[in-house]
Structure 1
Amino acid sequence: MTTSEPVVAVELERLRGTVSTGFAEVKGSLSVLMERSTRTEADLARLRDETDRSIAMLSAEVEALKLRRWPLGVVGAVAGVAGAATGVISLFAR
């Protein structure tokens, strides 16, 4: 063994420690990212459900409004007939 072999062994051991620490940091970062991804997926699913429920409620309200609206075509026709009848009555009443 020469004097450079122990130095190389020490440097290799430091390098191994640095690599192990780096892998542990990467593993921790990946765990955090996976947790965030899982939480985001759950939030997205909840938001999608809430949106679907809101759309269903709005659709029901629109349908209720459609049922209560005035039939403007019929009202216009009745007003026209009433106006024509009034005109005919006033024409013959003189």
Structure 2
Amino acid sequence: MNDPDHPNDPLTIALELERLRGSLEAGFARADGQLALLVQRSDQSDKQLADHEQRLDALERARWPLTSIAALTAVAAVVLGVWELSAR
């Protein structure tokens, strides 16, 4: 009954359980490492997205005077055209 090759031997069962435990620990460690890498990449993507948002906002704020200048130029051109027509 104490034959270690017997499948129902307590020593054999204990050894198999220890091997299974080691395999599970290694698998969980690998999964934890992959999850940590994904979290790091997600954080980097969030930072990059926030940076792009800030840059886009800065570009949009810097652009608004261009439309105002274009509108003022158009109004000035119309006023100048009307003044030239009325001068004839």
TM-score normalized by the length of structure 1: 0.67
Q: Structure 2: which 5+ runs fail to align?
A: none
CA offset at residue 18 of structure 1? 4.4
The structure 2 residue matched to 1:28, chosen from 22, 32, 48, is 22
What is the aligned-residue RMSD (CA, Å)? 2.6
Q: Which residue matches 2:6?
A: 14
- Uncovered stretches (5+) of structure 1, i.e. residues with no partner: 1-8
Size of the aligned set, in residue pairs, is 86
Which residues of 2 match residues 1-94 of structure 1 at below 5 A? 9=1, 14-15=6-7, 16=9, 17-94=11-88
TM-score by length of 2: 0.70
Q: Secondary structure at the match of 1:14?
A: coil
Instruction: Answer with 1 or 2: which has the greater Rg.
Output: 1
Superimposed CA distance per residue, residues 21-64 of structure 1 (whole angstroms, 9 cap, x where no aligned partner): 43233112101112112212321332232122212211221122
1:6 maps to what in 2?
none
Mapped to 1, the partners of 2:15 and 2:4 lie a distance apart of 14
Higher relative contact order (CA 8 A, sep 6+): 2
Segments ≥4 residues shifted beyond 6 Å? none
Letter in 2 for 1:48: S
